[in-house]
Copies of this chain bind each other. A is one copy, B any other.
Amino acid sequence: MVNATVLARYEHFSPSKGSPLPFEAIGKLTGIAPVDEAEDALQRIGTMARFGRDTTIFNEGDPVQFCYKIVSGAVRRCKHTVNGRRQISDFLLAGDCFGFLQFGRYNCTAEAIRDAVVIAYPQIQVERLTRTMPGMGHRLVVLMSERLTSMQDHLVRLGHQAAKERVASFLLLLCERLGAKEGECFDIPMNRQDMADYLGLTVETVCRALSELKRTKRIAAPSPQEVIINNLDALRTVVDNED
């Protein structure tokens, strides 16, 4: 049953509808060549898949079948609470991996924020690689460790920062992640509701915080989905005024 669900998802796959592409195709798509042995080994077991906006990649509690790497698009990891609310634990963009080092069942839900192309690695084969290739395990642990660090930072955000500070902090994070420079325009890949569910706020509060930042000239916004950070240090000042 679970298998059927997963296979059904592959129908979203666009480049060659219905049948997952072998990994080789990625090289052409992304222009990225495997840099080392571990990466090369992973490549060989990966197949591409495409998930439409707001579709579920896997649910919390599902048996682990695949691990993923994002080629393009964006994904949110989240938990749904009993009363329909949602806490997003993090956002994933091109190049990010998820679903690795989960034991038995996924510990959170993964959903596409916008159309996303991912590479799916069968978990069983990843595990085999981890056992046989010395570098692989370590690499995954480092990945996990980084995630833990970023979640700790997020705890600080949710525990001790005011709305404006959370939004400012989020913009800085996004800016860095996207490699945008001061004064450079970049796209916000998620909508206001996603931002709100990540920051533990309401859509309205996120809007007001953004408006406030615009009013005070710390940021500019050509469109609702685009932002320019006029002065990185000015934004950092907002974040640090946590009290």
Residues of A within 8 A of B (CB): 79, 81-85, 87, 89, 101-103, 107-108, 137, 140-142, 144-145, 147-149, 151-156, 158-160, 197, 199-200, 240-243
User: What CA separation (Å) do A154 and B84 show in the bound complex?
Assistant: 17
For the residues of A in contact with B, the DSSP-based class is helix
Asked if B107 contacts A158 (CB within 8 A), the reply is no
Asked if B200 contacts A145 (CB within 8 A), the reply is no
User: What CA separation (Å) do A145 and B100 show in the bound complex?
Assistant: 10
Contact of A152 among B83, B137, B151 (CB under 8 A): B151
Asked if A240 contacts B89 (CB within 8 A), the reply is no
Question: Taking A85-B243, A107-B148 as contacts, is the C-beta distance between A101 and B158 under 8 angstroms?
Answer: no
A142 contacts which chain B residues (CB < 8 A)? 103
Asked if B156 contacts A87 (CB within 8 A), the reply is yes
Asked if B152 contacts A148 (CB within 8 A), the reply is no
A169 to chain B, nearest CB (A): 11
Contact of A141 among B89, B144, B197, B200 (CB under 8 A): B144
A141 contacts which chain B residues (CB < 8 A)? 101, 137, 140-141, 144
Asked if B83 contacts A240 (CB within 8 A), the reply is yes
| A-B contact list, 26 entries, CB within 8 Å | A79-B153, A79-B156, A81-B160, A82-B242, A83-B240, A85-B242, A87-B160, A89-B155, A101-B141, A101-B145, A102-B145, A103-B145, A107-B148, A107-B149, A108-B152, A137-B141, A141-B144, A144-B144, A144-B145, A148-B148, A151-B151, A151-B152, A154-B155, A158-B158, A158-B159, A160-B200
